[in-house]
Amino acid sequence: MAVYWLEFHGNVGHAWNGAWEFIANRTLASFTVEMAPMTMLFAALGALVGGVYAALDARFQRSERMLTYLEREVARELPALIRSGEDGQVEFKSTARWDLRSHKVSRALSDVVASTIAGFANSAGGSILIGVDDDAEIVGLSFDYETLRRKDRDGFAQFVMTLVSERLGGDSCRLVHVLFAELDGHDVCRVVVEPADAPVYFHDGTQSRFFVRTGNATRALDAREVIQYALSRWGPGHGSQ
């Protein structure tokens, strides 16, 4: 605005006082009744741009944190994880579908996997190693493969993600990453779970439950515990479904 004034007033020595007066007048004019719609429009656009920028920045910051987490998790070699045994962030599962004792497909086994994923998501994240038994022996995925329409890694990955979507909700799929490795001639699946930024509930069709990791176990919280836990972990507004 000052440049515009000086362009049309050649006497620079006396121009500055007039320039400031010109700027003040134009600024005041923007707040007149006639200019109110335009002023409000620019204010709204400014607020919109600021809000979009803040949202993108927050999303970028979260992506950076999650990328760092995933890089750290993947860097932990599978044999080393197995040797270290189960803990607050590592869980072994012999199978996810096939019951080795009753020799049939068990939905209960799949639900245990889903509830463990929920427990990791509601805690500090972690990994489920499917195809490894409680004694750290490699069982492999061949039993589970035989229960699937597509009897390979892709079919198993699809099963895991469908399980997550059905039991934990579609929004939880972004927290889950399915990886595979071959150990001792057997496929092993590593399900890496990111820590969630909001409560993740397990739904079995009749009720919803909230799971967390406690030591090397996954346990359900009662209603009072859920409210207290969610408040301490995520803050106000996250204590209910």
* Percent of the chain whose predicted confidence (pLDDT) is above 90: 60
Return all residues near 181 (Cβ < 8 A) that are at least 6 apart.
78, 187, 188, 190
Residue 36 lies in a domain: no
Residue 130 lies in a domain: yes
Return all residues near 144 (Cβ < 8 A) that are at least 6 apart.
95, 96, 97, 98, 130, 131, 156, 159
Contact 146, 234 (CB under 8 A): no
Q: Which of 45-49, 62-66, 164-168, 212-216 has the lowest mean pLDDT?
A: 62-66
Listed in sequence order, the DSSP H helices in the chain are 2-7, 15-29, 36-75, 78-84, 107-121, 142-145, 153-168, 223-234
Query: How high is the pLDDT of residue 5?
Result: 46
Return all residues near 25 (Cβ < 8 A) that are at least 6 apart.
none
What is the per-residue pLDDT across 26-72, written as a single tens digit (0 to 9) for each? 666 655 666 667 667 766 777 777 666 665 666 666 666 666 666 56
Residue 200 lies in a domain: yes
**Structurally, how many domains does the chain consist of?**
1
Phi, psi at residue 113, to the nearest 5°?
A: -60, -45
Residue 169 lies in a domain: yes
Query: How high is the pLDDT of residue 207?
Result: 92
Read off the CATH number of the domain in which 204 is found.
3.30.950.30
Domain that holds residue 212: 78-234
Residue 55 lies in a domain: no
Residue 185 lies in a domain: yes
Give the mean pLDDT of 171-186.
94
Query: How high is the pLDDT of residue 56?
Result: 65
What is the per-residue pLDDT across 107-144, written as a single tens digit (0 to 9) for each? 999 999 999 999 999 999 999 999 999 999 999 999 99
The encoded tokens of residue 241 equal 């479904």
11, pLDDT greater than 70: no
